[in-house]
Amino acid sequence: MAKRKIFVVSDIHGHCSILKEALENAGFQKENTEHLLICCGDYFDRGTENLETLKFFERLKHKVLLRGNHEDLLLKLLQTGKIQPHHYINGTMNTLEEFFGKHFVDPADDTIDFSGKTSTVDRIFEFFNELLDYFETENYVFVHGWVPSGCNTSEDLKKIPKQKWEEARFMRWTEKYDDSPPIESKTLVCGHMPTFYANMGDKSKNIYDVFYGNGLIAIDAGTADTKHINVLVLEDNICE
């Protein structure tokens, strides 16, 4: 095992400038081999710097990237080309306009027109191929939304099929967490649901602060509304 300084973010949602400032303030050095950036998913949608966010993570060397539920939604749209109402509501259509330019929708049948854009599609799929369902260090487990039902130990994590992980990415920790550790002997770190749902009753905190529970750390700051990104800084051994 090798000990690293770990910087954890989540739910960037196309706010690259805020991400870079938050990481700089936290002391992250992208060329430092002892620094590792973990992102717990949801890189795009809602913000206006989706292409810059893609470029930032593509160029970053020392990283672990997890898949979020917005990546699942975007991937299905790219695979089928069929636009649904939630693609407008979630900001996915704005993301695709950044990636493909204007007039990327075929008005004849309201589908995405990929003609002449194959290289961009390949680039996005290549990025998605890097994304993990979860990441584990000696003392922590990192996920997007939650762990699949029936998953309580490190050994359980290795046995979960892909479909169960997709379901877990849509789970809300605010509804699943019962004040007991979700993973035996480890701390679960997640995003997906903003921490203000847990913090709004605590006047000693800003509502977007990191939430620390028993065996749980939640970090989603609700960036689209707060224009803030939490950076959780940890030191732990990386399992190699």
Which residue type, as a one-letter code, is found at position 103? H
How confident is the model at residue 217, as a pLDDT? 97
pLDDT < 50 stretches in the chain: none
User: What's this model's pTM, rounded to 2 decimal places?
Assistant: 0.94
Single out the residue of 40, 45, 54, 219 nearest to residue 133, CA to CA: 40
How confident is the model at residue 203, as a pLDDT? 65
Alpha carbons 139 and 46: distance in angstroms, whole number: 33
- Helix axes 50-59 and 16-26, enclosed angle (nearest 10): 40
Taking each continuous run of H as one helix and of E as one strand, the counts in the chain are 11, 11
How confident is the model at residue 8, as a pLDDT? 98
How confident is the model at residue 201, as a pLDDT? 65
Sequence-separated contacts (24+) of 155-162 with Cβ below 8 Å: 157/183, 160/133, 162/133
How confident is the model at residue 105, as a pLDDT? 81
